[in-house]
Amino acid sequence: MNHISENNESDRRLVNSVLSGETQAFGRIIKNTEGLVAQIVFKLVENREDRRDLAQDVYLKVFANLSGFKFQSKLSTWIAQIAYNTCISHLQKKKLALTDLFQGESEGYENADNHHLKSPEPGIETLIFQKQQAAILKIEIEKLPPLFKTLITLFHNEQMSYEEIGIVTGLPVGTLKSYLFRARKMLKSNLLIGYKKEEL
């Protein structure tokens, strides 16, 4: 709980500055979180114009509801939750599928630490190979259903914990682990189908 309090100290100062009328402080909030908001909006919503409108809508909601923020999570997590819910509402209005829930195995979960390449001191060839792998991985992640690619991005790219992702999405931790397991399994299957083994 202490680390949450420490993390929230700068959040508290920023929020108080905004509520005191310092508009520059809200600009700092946007700067600190726009990357995370963009990740969520871009992974969930495909239409380019909708993405721009939704990102603006997210920060309008943040500004309007800032006085109600209770500091029970990091400010960035709260803003991510608003971004996620804004996108979900948009998808529901457009009647777009969030995920194709398929019949897949849910027994056990892959180790989240196993996705890193293990190379003590990579040479130039290894670095090029890793870059090629990362590019292939990025392409294949974009082909996943919106919810799956969002969860993978929040967990692996944004380094969010299951608890934080749970706050953002409103999904139980067990469900998140199951979805992440399915997402990784789908990703692995697509990679094996789409690329020769030597390319991976």
Alpha helical stretches, state H, the chain: 2-19, 23-44, 48-65, 75-93, 124-142, 146-152, 162-169, 173-194
pLDDT in tens, the chain (200 residues): 445 555 678 899 999 999 999 989 999 999 999 999 999 999 999 888 899 999 999 999 999 999 999 998 999 999 999 999 999 999 888 876 665 433 333 333 333 333 333 334 446 556 565 666 777 778 888 889 999 999 999 998 899 999 999 999 999 999 999 999 999 999 888 888 876 554 54
Where do the domains of the chain lie, and which CATH numbers do they carry?
2-93 (1.10.1740.10), 112-199 (1.10.10.10)
Q: Count of CB atoms within 10 A of residue 28's CB?
A: 14
The letter for the amino acid at 200 is L
Q: For residue range 98-156, what is the model confidence (pLDDT) as tens digits?
A: 654 333 333 333 333 333 333 344 465 565 656 667 777 788 888 899 999 999 999 98
8 A C-beta contact, residue 71 and residue 11: yes
Cα–Cα nearest to 109, from 170, 173, 44, 193: 173
Please state, in angstroms and rounded to a whole number, the distance separating the CA atoms of residues 200 and 30. 37
Please give the structure tokens belonging to residue 180. Answer: 């992440």
In sequence order, the 6+-apart residues with CB closer than 8 A to the CB of 43 are 146, 149, 150, 153
Please give the structure tokens belonging to residue 31. Answer: 């700067």
